[in-house]
Amino acid sequence: MKAQKNIEASRAEVLEILKNPKNTHEQTMMALATLAENLLPYPDGTPEDFYSLYDKGIICDLDEGHAPYTARYILPDYDKLMKNGCKFLKLDLPKDLFEALNTLLIFYRHVPSITHFPVYMGNIDYLLEPFIQDTEEAKKMIRGFLIHCDRTFGSSFCHMNLGPKASRAGWIVLELESELKNSVPNMTLIYDPKITPDDFAELAIETALASANPAFAYKPAYDVDFKGRPFGIASCYNGLPIGGGAFTLSRLRLNKLANNSTSVSDFFDDTLPHAVRTLCQFMEEKTRFIVEETPFFSTHFLVNEGFIRQDNFVGLFGMAGLCECVNQLMKLQGKTERYGKDEEANQLGVKVMDALKEHVESFESKYSPDWDHHFMLHAQVGAAGDEGTSPGARIAIGEELPLYDHLRQAGLYHKYFPTGVGDIFPFDTTYSKNPAAILDVFKGAFKVGIRYISTYSSDSELVRVTGYLVKKSDIQAYAEGKQVINETVRGSYNAKEYDGTLRRKVRSI
């Protein structure tokens, strides 16, 4: 892991990338950039223990890159763009819908991220509503805009938000989504039962059954965690402050940590606190590298013009494999109760999360003054090497519970994750005749602690994999050796995440 690759090995890798017939030109460039970045070592100050925990699979840096040169997730303040324009991009204030859409498309192109695509594209209905005059004309223009996004931003992690208020622009976007069935952008309705009318929420569910978009984020829960300040949903399902974002994301595989613990007390007293400390130190070094060694926060126009502020960024402390972790800890006590169906195991899960939260909060970062110098917890979904590790705090696929029990179980854990957690429930096609019924289930879910939930229809061409969307036909094409624009398809296919998705329990009557 620490050893430097020799130049010959690196050349061979370059050639392999150049010759890969399944890459589009853009994907080749991005792969070369990643390769170049990873020729550098991890930042100075990375703790020694990081490497041994990495080799055991306990720590996973999600191949984020050894030397990141931009913040991982950026949520620009798009209201500012609509009010002030942008000097660096020479954009005046938009005066009509055409100019507003054009301004956004130009701006998106310049919002960096880990994926090189804009992971947050704003509250699109609020941004466009002031410019809607003639509905038919607006529909035609927004249609073109959405198609543009799908065909040029080749990543399922580009994310648009809607709501919580209903608006003409919101209705138009939802109606277009049903029709277009694109995998980009990802979409979330910021839902508040006190603000969002039922008919708008039901249209959102109908749209989700047709196109797997949007998911629902329960605003009241996020308002508590983000202290009432503006937040958005970016990338997969990550709640983050608007005008800020995330510096970096790494994660613990809790199951591997449990496998490397000799007893339950060893886990709680020794291996867990040690791994959390090590990962926090590693993340701190990465953040230091981005802030202090790269010119990003001192030169980028997003910072200079106030679209983002460094103080408003946080580190995301991710975790996965709570399910298998708990099962292993039960086994260490000679018990057979399982995470999901058994109360004792679920309560042990709560105890693990309480301990994890406490350790993460006890680490004081030099950065993130807006968020009290703490990292925030994130329930991380899949990555390569995740066989036997369930995403975040989810119950393993194949052990799903009856719908209501499942929601209650998941509701125990959502509160730990301000910066992202989610559960996905495919429904069979009978439900498409009664979206109000699914809205009832969602409303109930929010009452039992769920903060983010999504659905799609079992016969949909689009499926929500771990939090992002892919088209079945794109996966098929990639499997046959063809190129596809959406580069997420490659990751999804290689990490076998998609396979699990197809085995997910479909909710039927």
Partner 1 sequence: MLAPVNKIIDTSVVDGPGNRTAVFFQGCNFNCKYCHNPETLHMCTACGKCVEKCPVGALSLTQGKVVWNPAICKNCDTCIKVCSHQASPKISWMTVEALADRVIRNIPFIRGVTCSGGECTLQSEFIVHFFRRMKENDLNCLLDSNGSVISFEEEQSLMDVTDGVMLDIKAFDPEKHLALTGQKNELVLRNALYLASIGKLTEIRTVIAQNEIDNAKTVYEITKLLSPYLATTDIHYRIIAFRPFGVRKQFLELGTPSQKEMHSMEAIARSNGFDHITLT
Residues that bind partner 1 (CB under 8 A): 402-404, 407, 430-431, 433-434, 436-441, 443-445, 447-448, 507, 509
Burial class (CB in 10 A: 0-12, 13-18, 19+), 247: buried
Chain centroid offset of residue 186 CA: 10
| Nearest-approach distance from CB 199 to partner 1, in angstroms | 13
The partner residues of 91 in beta bridges, in order of sequence, read: 86
CA distance 321 to 272: 14
Task: Between 327 and 457, name the residue whose CB sits nearer to partner 1.
Answer: 457
Within 8 A by CB and 6+ apart from 227, the residues are none
Residue in 139, 230, 228 with CA at minimum distance from that of residue 178: 139
Task: Between 19 and 433, name the residue whose CB sits nearer to partner 1.
Answer: 433
Task: Between 439 and 475, name the residue whose CB sits nearer to partner 1.
Answer: 439
Task: Between 35 and 403, name the residue whose CB sits nearer to partner 1.
Answer: 403
Task: Between 258 and 450, name the residue whose CB sits nearer to partner 1.
Answer: 450
DSSP string, 58-117: SEE-TT--SS-SS-SEEE--HHHHHHH-BTTTTB----SHHHHHHHHHHHHTT---TTSS
Task: Between 94 and 411, name the residue whose CB sits nearer to partner 1.
Answer: 411
Within 8 A by CB and 6+ apart from 49, the residues are 274, 278
| Nearest-approach distance from CB 60 to partner 1, in angstroms | 35
| Nearest-approach distance from CB 497 to partner 1, in angstroms | 27
Task: Between 119 and 439, name the residue whose CB sits nearer to partner 1.
Answer: 439
Task: Between 114 and 439, name the residue whose CB sits nearer to partner 1.
Answer: 439
Phi, psi of 335, rounded to the nearest 5 degrees? -110, 155
The partner residues of 316 in beta bridges, in order of sequence, read: 249, 376
Task: Between 88 and 404, name the residue whose CB sits nearer to partner 1.
Answer: 404
CB half-sphere exposure, 275, CA atoms < 13 A: 33
| Nearest-approach distance from CB 504 to partner 1, in angstroms | 17
Chain centroid offset of residue 481 CA: 27
Task: Between 128 and 438, name the residue whose CB sits nearer to partner 1.
Answer: 438
CA distance 427 to 508: 6
3-state secondary structure of 148: helix
| Nearest-approach distance from CB 224 to partner 1, in angstroms | 19
Measured on CA atoms in the order 375, 378, 382, 388, is the torsion positive or negative? positive
Both tokens of residue 499? 């396979």
Q: Which amino acid is at 63?
A: D
Task: Between 203 and 353, name the residue whose CB sits nearer to partner 1.
Answer: 203
Measured on CA atoms in the order 406, 408, 412, 415, is the torsion positive or negative? positive
| Nearest-approach distance from CB 352 to partner 1, in angstroms | 27
Within 8 A by CB and 6+ apart from 90, the residues are none
Task: Between 382 and 411, name the residue whose CB sits nearer to partner 1.
Answer: 411
| Nearest-approach distance from CB 438 to partner 1, in angstroms | 7
Nearest-5° Cα angle at 215, 357 to 371: 35
13 — alpha (psi -120 to 50), left (phi > 0) or beta? Answer: alpha
| Nearest-approach distance from CB 77 to partner 1, in angstroms | 36
| Nearest-approach distance from CB 444 to partner 1, in angstroms | 3
181 — alpha (psi -120 to 50), left (phi > 0) or beta? Answer: left
| Nearest-approach distance from CB 221 to partner 1, in angstroms | 15
Both tokens of residue 264? 């339950």
CA distance 389 to 380: 11
Bridging pattern class, strands 186-191 and 215-218 = parallel
Phi, psi of 103, rounded to the nearest 5 degrees? -60, -45
| Nearest-approach distance from CB 425 to partner 1, in angstroms | 11
| Nearest-approach distance from CB 430 to partner 1, in angstroms | 6
453 — alpha (psi -120 to 50), left (phi > 0) or beta? Answer: beta
Both tokens of residue 142? 């927004």
| Nearest-approach distance from CB 443 to partner 1, in angstroms | 7
Task: Between 394 and 406, name the residue whose CB sits nearer to partner 1.
Answer: 406
